[in-house]
Amino acid sequence: MSTLTDRPVLRLLPKANARAIRRGAPWVFDNELVMDRRTRGIAPGTIATLVDHERAELATVAVNPASKIVARVLDRAQVEIDTDWMSARVEKALSLRERVYGAPFYRLIHAEADGFPGLIVDRFGDTLVVQPNAAWIDALLDPLTAVLAAVTRCTVVLKNASGRGRTLEGLDDADTVLLGQAPTAPVPVEMNGATYMADVVGGQKTGLFYDQRENQAFAARLAQGASVVDIFSHVGGFGLAAAAGGAKSVLCVDSSAPALELATKGAGAMALGDRFATRQGDAFATMEALAQENRRFDLVVCDPPAFAPAKPALEKGLRAYERVARLGAALVKEDGYLVLCSCSHAADLASFTGACLRGMGRAGRRATLIHTGFAGADHPQLPQLAESGYLKALFFRL
């Protein structure tokens, strides 16, 4: 824990936009700061004071000179970053989730939008899975764990180190148990009338993607009496919601056998095994194979991984989204529905929509857009940070 008296000071260059910081911008990059030898020698994770070029105080920040994001704004006042500060922010985050959701299954902390830059915390009942994707969080992990347990009364806290941000911050990739004992079996999660099996120890990311909750609920409304295929299904996100919504048949496609096994267990827990099937394989190759088999569906959902995780990958990513749209559109029956999703923050809504329209056009299909979805309320957006509004879901009728 730092004290106000012994903090280092970071100074903005004259050309830097101090007004943006005062208005809520959460990041300060290396090209905006005086990066002298003293600044470069600050240990990653150190709490510091940010000042403008005239040395007027701007914010309390967390520093990592090894990252392009050298400073992350923690508070626009000069405050102690201690357990009281953490507790107040965790309590605020929890109050929102408890107001919106009736069961303890949600994203509890969504990084900058909840006042914890670089921190992700997902809740699975009495278990919390923490992704500390910034050096300052890593340095304060022990007191943070104690605060999380005290505020939420959760008995298990796990560290998941798979986040891409940890690599960019120069952090390790070691998963650990921070509190309690790790679950030895998947955690059942009740959501949208479906039962999902979350592997919080060995699964992808934290074990389940909560961000698609509202979009899965909308898809379930389209699925009643429908044949459904869920491409890039992971543990059955859209497919199980569709089954719970009354789909007559559901096929989940994913490259991961363990993920499909969890999806099958979820269907079994819902007693819907007779209407549920899986197919393991590369999503692109499987969509091509389904088309060659003359398989057509009333509802096709494509929820791929981030094809454009950063700006350098944008052009290639948009081509991939276009290909997904083309192959997915070929599987949709007349007057059926195609759901196309992107979790790439580098691909904004307009760019992603354009790629989808090009793909569907190449498939010879005419589409109307009936709904646009985003992440749920447990993934709040920080208006000054475009990256926090990463998820897009487009619902088309073909």
- Which are the catalytic amino acids? 343
Q: Which amino acid is at 162?
A: S
φ, ψ of residue 387 to 5 degrees: the values are: -60, -25
CA-based angle 120:122:124, to the nearest 5? Answer: 165
- Nearest 10 degrees: Cα torsion 251, 252, 255, 258: -120
Q: Which amino acid is at 67?
A: S
Measured between alpha carbons, how far is 148 from 235 in angstroms, rounded to an integer? Answer: 27
The alpha helices in the chain, defined as continuous H runs, are 18-22, 37-40, 83-100, 135-139, 141-152, 164-168, 213-222, 237-244, 257-269, 283-292, 314-329, 349-362
Q: Tokens at residue 396, please?
A: 């088309």
SS3 183: coil
Q: How many CB atoms lie within 10 A of CB 243?
A: 29
Q: DSSP state, 154?
A: -
**DSSP line for 188-200:** EEEETTEEEEE-T
